[in-house]
Amino acid sequence: MPVSYARRHGLKPLGAGIGLRREFYARLPETSRALDWVEIIPENFLTLGGRSQRALDACVERWPALPHGVALNIGGPEPLDEDYLSRLKALVERVDAPFFSDHLCYSRLRGAYLHDLLPLPFSEEAVEHVVPRVREVKERVGRPFLLENPSYYARMPGGTLDEAAFLRHVAEEADCGLLLDVNNVYVNAQNHGYDPRAFVDALPLERVVQIHLAGHEQQPDVLIDTHGAPVCDEVWSLYRYVLERTGPVSTLMEWDQDIPSLEAVLDEADRARAVLAEIELARAVVR
């Protein structure tokens, strides 16, 4: 098996984390509960000041912070935003993030942000478009960079590859890591009729550096990736399936809508941490 992306870059699993969301600015920095790291949405912190800065500073004193962006627009047709990249680099350095991430999608068109993460066509042409942009981002920011597999509800026209092959080509040709959103894998598999475990097996798992877990909404004929509910049993099972192949990977409990109490989110992170410990123990016994 190839040397993992994490090992090549000296990245170690961080354990289980949660997102620093506005609802938690006051209480999270003071919690006595177990927590291994926090994720920040950089767009909320690129212009620092006031309550946001105080919350971020307090968290960075206690835990590693990993920026996970939504506005990079890595797959868009326009040139990368120079100002955004400069401010992202400054934030990554300020929190001394070991790596950072964004989504393999497009989110801006004709200068307007779409406030959504829209899928790319799974094609060789899209790979050729995205790869140099990923290389540019890595060079500009100067830290290891991960791309996340997004959820999607329609296949973009022009696709010639399956989704897993598309992810593999981009990650390998751009030499970046993967942020594997296990809930997205499950949601996409149910909505588009494929086996989520076969999808996982087709990925370059040696490039998985981080995992997202989240909840979704069941509607009559579709699953919606809401990040607004507890993780379902099927996604927990798929998470374990991934870890049995990758070993322990830094895992985020992602909750962005209908956000419950801090304790409820930390309870979900505790469950992920327990699975990580079980996988680590099982691998130690085998060794």
Which DSSP symbol is given to 44? G
Residue 108 has pLDDT above 90, yes or no: no
- CB-neighbour burial class of residue 221 (10 A; exposed 0-12, middle 13-18, buried 19+): exposed
Q: Which of 23, 27, 19, 35 is nearest to 270 (CA)?
A: 35
User: What is the band of 157 on the pLDDT scale with cuts at 50, 70, 90?
Assistant: confident
User: Alpha-carbon distance 221 to 229, whole Å?
Assistant: 18
Helix (H, G, I), strand (E, B) or coil at 224: strand
Residue 55 has pLDDT above 60, yes or no: yes
What single-letter amino acid sits at 173?
E
Beta bridge partners of 113: 108
Q: Is 32 exposed, middle or buried (0-12, 13-18, 19+ CB in 10 A)?
A: exposed
| Tokens 């329609």 -> residue | 154
Mean per-residue pLDDT for 115-125? 86
Task: Indicate if the pLDDT at residue 116 is higher than 70.
Answer: no
pLDDT in tens, 5-34: 999 999 999 999 999 999 999 999 999 999
